[in-house]
Amino acid sequence: MDSSKVLDFFKEITKIPRESGHEELMASYLIDFALNHGLEHKKDKAGNVLIIKEAAPGKENVPSIALQCHQDMVCEKSEACGHDFSKDPIHYEIKDGWMVAPETTLGADDGIGIAACLAILDSDLPAGRIECLFTVSEETGMDGAFALEEGFFTSKTLINLDSEDEGQLFVGCAGGVTTQISFDLIRETAAPGSRALDFRLYGTLGGHSGDDIDKGRINTVQQMARFIKILSGKMDVRLVGIDGGGKHNAIARECRARVAISPELIASAKEEFGKFCDALRAEYHRTEPVLMQDCNEAVLDVQPLEHSLADRLISALVAVHHGVLAMSQDIEGLVETSSNLASVHMNGSTIDICTSQRSSVDSAREYVADKVEACFRLAGAKVSRNDPYPGWKPDMNSHILERTRSAYRRLFGTEPLVKAIHAGLECGLFLEKFKDLDMISFGPTLRGVHAPGERLDLASNEKFVKLLADVVTNFG
């Protein structure tokens, strides 16, 4: 089995709509694959799919092994992109050794894991029994892993194919929770003659709220709130609306705000926005290569927010923690605890804010969620927590870890890094349901996941496939 087969399967997968919560076509593709290959398969009520390949001749006594990935993908695109994730195939390019989607997410997270499973199932590798588990809605709450019923798969060893750094073997991950905030939307009449002025921040890197939270990237929602607070302190402007960010597990990379302003202050407000953006570029000059801005006049067709509400909203968005809160005291360089200010949206009668918190320590995860909740409750908002999921505690004596590590040394002549990851993997949930499960996670190098421009390093994919095939073939 070589990486070209995996890449061929992945190219087919890029044609299949599979946004979280809408994996029906992906599940149908998997079941059709199983039927066409004469493989045992099943699907549960949640939409999780299991495909089984029985042991090759002479391998009947080898313990079975599970390969696991998720069916769904994060669907993000640049604002000017007309891509429809419900029907359009992903447009990708092969450039300078990378497979990249220029204006959307590529879906290699975790489409490349799906492709690797299919290539294994389609191969003639002399391996023991293999169970390939394809879960649903991992990106929006790990719904498939939560719903997984006892006995759906039987292997005592599992390889998760949802990691993003070749040469690194992951044996632990963070747990997480989503904290949702809601303000009641109240408006009042603007001063006579007021005009609307629209501000926009965009073009930033964004990225994964776990893997990239320590990269020092701009959060456009928080920075737009910061600007509105600065501007309000210098002149009489009234907030009409603020809207930015997307998925709960992505760093906000675009944000708009509209204010009501008297015509004679417009030039000064534009100048203040330019100064602010210049200062922001200076603050992030090493970590954000591009920050773009727009400022345009418009007709005031919606009245501004009630003054106290606007002040409380903007103050809370500025004050709430975004970024790393603590580094691990056990594993050097590992982010232990963080929070992501993901989005703010005006939705009819409410202003809705989404945040997510992660930690490899359960008590610390609750603490940072408490901090976020306290900040917004002090501002008069309603707060709730949803979709908590556990972390995965490292087991350095793991049998599959030693097998994989020795295979990596033999294949590539170097020692892989053994790490934990500050992102949510389904492994923590599997361990709650299957107490004796021995697990590891590895994959090829991906960059820019959860943001437009997501890319797959093709050279790393070759090594990933070679390692996976070797571990599966020689497992026992």
Position 119, amino acid: A
Cα three-residue angle 426-24-472, rounded to 5 degrees: 45
Of the residues 138, 164, 336, 438, only one is catalytic, namely: 138
Distance in angstroms (rounded) separating the CA atoms of residues 325 and 201: 25
72 among known catalytic residues? yes
Contacts of 184 (CB under 8 A, 6+ apart): 309, 349, 350
Helix (H, G, I), strand (E, B) or coil at 132: strand
Are 461 and 451 within 8 A, CB to CB?
Answer: no
Asked if the bond preceding 110 is cis, omega within 30° of 0, the reply is yes
131 among known catalytic residues? no
User: Which tokens in the block code for residue 258?
Assistant: 């509209």
Compute and round to an integer the Cα radius of gyration of the chain: 24
Distance in angstroms (rounded) separating the CA atoms of residues 456 and 108: 7
Burial class of residue 271 (count of CB atoms within 10 Å of its CB; 0-12, 13-18, 19+): exposed
Helix (H, G, I), strand (E, B) or coil at 16: coil
Of the residues 72, 122, 139, 288, only one is catalytic, namely: 72
Count the alpha carbons within 13 Å of 416 in the hemisphere toward its beta carbon. 30
Residues with catalytic function: 72, 138
